[in-house]
């Protein structure tokens, strides 16, 4: 409880501090004025920037980080392997495919989320079924299956980009696939908050049962768990979380793989502690990464590039230690 309270406080501090980060200078009094309407001091223009631009963006980054942290930790429990994540199991590529299709045919946000959810879920189901056939406990089979399906979906995305209008849809697709929270709106924050509340709450409610998935199927069934049903339920909630992130932030990889490892080092592998810790760490991590993306240069860096630059070497180190 103390650790969770500390992480929640740290997340809140990161959110407040992030409101002052950006190309337009904003003082602490401006931030306080935006958060506390009765506060008299501060510049009105700066307050408006915080309220309409930075606050929804920072909150959206935090919510998406929470979603990816939860999704990654739950997936690792379902697959009984700490080296899987949304990007390695195809769900991120699947959700990205749905988002690109939505951009191509100019669908509104709700439909974009629906496309992302369906294609992300189908990709994850495909990996899960192939892993069942080829050996779920094999690290190599999981990685290879994820690479195969992700590569296929990436090819599909490439075909859609070829079909897109190079003056309109294509630039939007390319930038969106690199990941960014620029242009975040309060409506997006509300939609993602509801999904995180429902899907994340469901995973947290199942956290004790997810522990049983680490057992042999026979032992889990002996304890009264419907293993197959539980796995499909968890997979569905994971797809909802990842689809929510992709639909509003584009391609942001490695968070769902790296963050649960950090949480596991702090609290161990028991999901009653691992899931909430992964959630708060994910929110903190993505808020900080977003600060770097929009604060280190005049040209905003796509956040997906930063998470890949950090995540890929860390994953290589984790994989090297796991195969020693």
Is residue 266 in some structural domain?
A: yes
Q: Within a domain: residue 51?
A: no
Q: Are the C-beta atoms of 266 and 3 separated by less than 8 Å?
A: yes
Q: What is the CATH number of the domain that holds 118?
A: 1.10.3470.10
Looking at the structure of the chain, the number of domains it has is 1
Residue 317 lies in a domain: yes
Render pLDDT for 8-49 as a digit per residue (tens, 0 to 9): 999 999 999 999 888 887 878 778 877 777 665 667 777 888
Assess if residue 122 is contained within a domain: yes
Q: Answer whether residue 10 is part of any domain.
A: no
More confident site: 116 or 162: 162
Note the pLDDT of residue 58.
96
Dist. CA 10–CA 46, nearest whole Å: 24
**Is residue 59, in this structure, part of any structural domain at all?**
no
What are the tokens at 266? 């702090």
Q: How far apart are CA 292 and CA 18, in angstroms?
A: 10
In a domain, 115, yes or no: yes
**Domain extent at residue 82:** 65-322
Q: What is the pLDDT of residues 47-98, one digit of tens each?
A: 888 888 999 999 999 999 999 999 999 988 887 778 777 776 778 888 889 8
Q: What is the mean pLDDT of residues 175-180?
A: 89
């Amino acid at each position: 409880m103390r650790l969770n309270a500390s992480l929640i406080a740290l997340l809140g501090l990161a959110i407040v501090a992030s409101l002052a980060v950006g190309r337009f200078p904003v003082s602490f009094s401006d931030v306080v004025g935006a958060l506390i309407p009765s506060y008299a001091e501060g510049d009105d223009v700066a307050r408006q920037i915080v309220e309409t631009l930075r606050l929804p963006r920072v909150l959206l980054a935090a919510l998406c980080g929470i979603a990816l942290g939860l999704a990654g930790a739950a997936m690792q429990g379902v697959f009984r392997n700490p080296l899987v994540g949304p990007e390695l199991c195809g769900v991120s590529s699947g959700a990205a495919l749905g988002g690109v299709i939505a951009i191509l045919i100019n669908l509104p946000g709700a439909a974009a989320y629906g496309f992302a959810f369906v294609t992300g879920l189908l990709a994850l189901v495909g990996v899960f079924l192939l892993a069942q056939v080829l050996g779920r406990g094999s690290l190599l089979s999981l990685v290879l299956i994820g690479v195969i399906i992700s590569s296929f979906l990436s090819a599909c995305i490439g075909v859609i980009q070829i079909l897109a209008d190079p003056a309109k849809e294509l630039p939007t697709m390319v930038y969106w696939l690199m990941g960014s929270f620029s242009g975040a709106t309060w409506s997006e924050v509300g939609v993602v908050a509801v999904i995180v509340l429902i899907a994340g709450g469901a995973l947290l409610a199942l956290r004790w049962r997810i522990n049983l998935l680490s057992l042999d199927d026979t032992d889990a069934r002996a304890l009264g768990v419907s293993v197959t049903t539980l796995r499909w339920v968890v997979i569905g909630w994971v797809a909802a979380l990842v689809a929510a992130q992709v639909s509003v932030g584009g391609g942001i990889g490695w968070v769902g793989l790296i963050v649960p490892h950090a949480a596991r080092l702090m609290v161990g592998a028991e999901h009653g502690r691992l899931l909430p810790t992964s959630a708060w760490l994910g929110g903190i991590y993505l808020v900080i990464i977003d600060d770097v993306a929009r604060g280190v240069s005049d040209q905003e860096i796509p956040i997906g590039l930063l998470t890949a630059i950090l995540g890929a070497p860390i994953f290589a180190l984790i994989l090297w230690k796991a195969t020693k």
